[in-house]
């Protein structure tokens, strides 16, 4: 289970982010503990109000818990992991909230604590919290028998294809994904035995080796985007320079971008446009199918919650009927039956609550299995579209006439750019209809505690 934590402020912004239904197929507010308010926005604003009595600016500690994609993790295990994180970081007893998200066939949790101790009006210190989260993560992997990621075995062995936020946002604007770009650059580096061969390999794929502003090597795309070569290769600047030589003879960023732009051909544009239209049709079909499945799942959860509430009310009524009133109740107390029945009722209430929670877990995981089938289909479609696009990029080297007429047609080129950006956007931004949002809010309420 990958754990990522941060200290932060911005109570309202965090609450709105955690409740975003347009980025997640299901949002469940599972727990609010230690706050007067019973809604997420109010609870985090309450933490912010208390923090105003101190000088602490980052009064919240937020942690995301992401289990492996195909592993089943029940609510009870999520709770144990969150409690372990709480204890390791000295936050035991602090107010907290827990929110579950489901997206792309995966389920993950967010836990947010208030760092402010209301008794002393000081912030709980969180020394080395990233190291502690990593240790808890390793313990979870060992406990569950999951394959440990290399980054948890040795911090220097982190997957080099893990992108920073800036890298991801930069390449999200491209018609290729961030992972595709990084794989391509590393492949060119590994298969080239000279600076000339490396530059040629990049050029064949639609990129140019250029000179950066700080006399370092960079890679430029026809969009004009600049890639830091040492960062993408996971090497030091000196190591790259030793292999590629002095970058001074290389074109600068603007010259490289202009050269690449001139190499776009009319036939390539037409092919890209045709491919984008076909891919968009397929993506729209899958997005509509995913939306229908999400709405069915929401309806199933609402139906389940209503049935559970009805059953809990009936069981509570039956347990209450065992305790007599009036003279019968006094006689029951004298005989000692009343205390025995109260203990029995409490035990049965806990058992019923655990049963209901286990049944809801089963429902959610069954829905996740169904959702993953669609996610695999969507991923397969996207990979096929990207593979075809890569082939078109490789064909670019054959068309180098200066300023072809179709390449000057900015409107057509913008249409292609928009189409392929749409292909690579995640489908999960599809917004459900307004009536479904009301149902979602109903299904996102906290689970009722057992009545005793």
Strand segments, DSSP code E, in 51-131 are 60-66, 96-103, 106-114, 116-117, 122-123
Q: Which of 93-107, 117-131, 352-366, 396-410 has the lowest mean pLDDT?
A: 396-410
Q: Is residue 451 part of a domain?
A: no
**Do 236 and 287 have their domain in common?**
no
**Do 113 and 16 have their domain in common?**
yes
Which percentage of the chain shows pLDDT scores above 90?
29
pLDDT winner (highest mean) among 179-188, 246-255, 422-431: 246-255
Q: Is residue 76 part of a domain?
A: yes
**Do 427 and 280 have their domain in common?**
yes
Burial 325-355 (b: 16+ CB within 10 A, else e): eeeeeeebeeeeebeeeeeebeebbeebbee
Question: Is residue 332 predicted with pLDDT exceeding 90?
Answer: no
pLDDT of 78:
93
Which DSSP category does 157 fall into?
Answer: G
Joined together, the tokens standing for residue 336 give 């000692």
Question: Is residue 426 predicted with pLDDT exceeding 50?
Answer: no
Tell me the per-residue pLDDT of 210-233, one tens digit each, with 9 for 90 and over: 888 776 888 887 666 888 888 888
**Do 104 and 252 have their domain in common?**
no
CATH of the domain at 102: 3.30.930.30
Residue 403 structural domain: 267-443
Q: Which residue has the higher pLDDT, 171 or 320?
A: 320
CA-CA distance, 13 to 347, in Å (whole number)?
41
Q: Residue 84: pLDDT band by 50, 70, 90 thresholds?
A: very high
State the average pLDDT for the chain.
79
**Do 8 and 135 have their domain in common?**
yes
Question: Is residue 59 predicted with pLDDT exceeding 90?
Answer: yes
**pTM for this one?**
0.50
- Domains of the chain: total: 3
**Do 206 and 121 have their domain in common?**
no
Please state, as a whole number, how many other Cβ atoms lie within 10 Å of the Cβ of residue 140: 21
pLDDT of 159:
43
pLDDT of 215:
67
């Amino acid at each position: 289970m990958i754990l990522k934590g941060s200290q932060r402020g911005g109570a309202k912004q965090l609450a709105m982010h955690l409740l975003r239904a347009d980025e997640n197929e299901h949002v469940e507010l599972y727990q609010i503990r230690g706050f007067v308010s019973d809604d997420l926005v109010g609870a985090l604003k309450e933490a912010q109000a208390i923090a105003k009595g101190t000088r602490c600016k980052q009064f919240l500690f937020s942690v995301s818990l992401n289990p492996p994609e195909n592993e089943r993790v029940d609510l009870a295990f999520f709770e144990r992991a969150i409690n372990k994180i709480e204890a390791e970081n000295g936050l035991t007893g602090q107010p907290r909230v827990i929110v579950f998200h489901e997206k792309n066939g995966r389920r993950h949790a967010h836990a947010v604590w208030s760092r402010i101790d209301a008794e002393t009006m000081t912030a709980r210190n969180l020394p080395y919290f990233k190291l502690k989260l990593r240790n808890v993560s390793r313990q979870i992997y060992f406990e569950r028998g999951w394959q440990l990621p290399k980054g948890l075995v040795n911090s220097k062995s982190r997957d080099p294809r893990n992108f920073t936020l800036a890298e991801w946002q930069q390449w999200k604007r491209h018609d290729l994904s961030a992972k595709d770009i990084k794989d391509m650059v590393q492949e060119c580096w590994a298969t080239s035995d000279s600076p000339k061969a490396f530059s040629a390999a990049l050029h064949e794929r639609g990129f140019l080796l250029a000179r950066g502003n700080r006399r370092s090597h960079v890679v430029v795309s026809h969009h004009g985007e600049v890639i830091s070569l040492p960062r993408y290769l996971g090497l030091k600047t000196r190591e790259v320079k030793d292999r590629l030589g002095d970058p001074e003879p290389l074109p600068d960023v603007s010259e490289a971008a202009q050269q690449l732009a001139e190499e776009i051909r009319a036939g390539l544009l037409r092919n890209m446009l045709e491919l984008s239209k076909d891919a968009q049709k397929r993506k729209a079909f899958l997005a509509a199918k995913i939306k229908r499945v999400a709405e069915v799942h929401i309806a199933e959860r609402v139906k389940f919650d209503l049935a559970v509430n009805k059953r809990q009310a009936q069981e509570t009524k039956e347990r209450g009927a065992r305790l007599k009133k009036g003279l019968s109740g006094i006689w029951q107390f004298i005989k000692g039956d009343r205390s025995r029945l109260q203990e029995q009722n409490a035990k049965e209430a806990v058992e019923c609550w655990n049963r209901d929670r286990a049944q809801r877990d089963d429902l959610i995981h069954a829905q996740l299995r169904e959702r993953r089938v669609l996610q695999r289909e969507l991923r397969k479609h996207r990979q096929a579209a990207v593979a075809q696009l890569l082939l078109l990029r490789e064909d670019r080297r054959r068309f180098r006439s200066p300023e072809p007429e179709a390449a000057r047609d900015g409107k057509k080129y913008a249409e292609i750019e928009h189409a392929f950006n749409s292909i690579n956007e995640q489908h999960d931004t599809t917004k459900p209809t307004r009536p479904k949002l009301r149902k979602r809010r109903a299904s996102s309420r906290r689970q009722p505690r057992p009545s005793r």
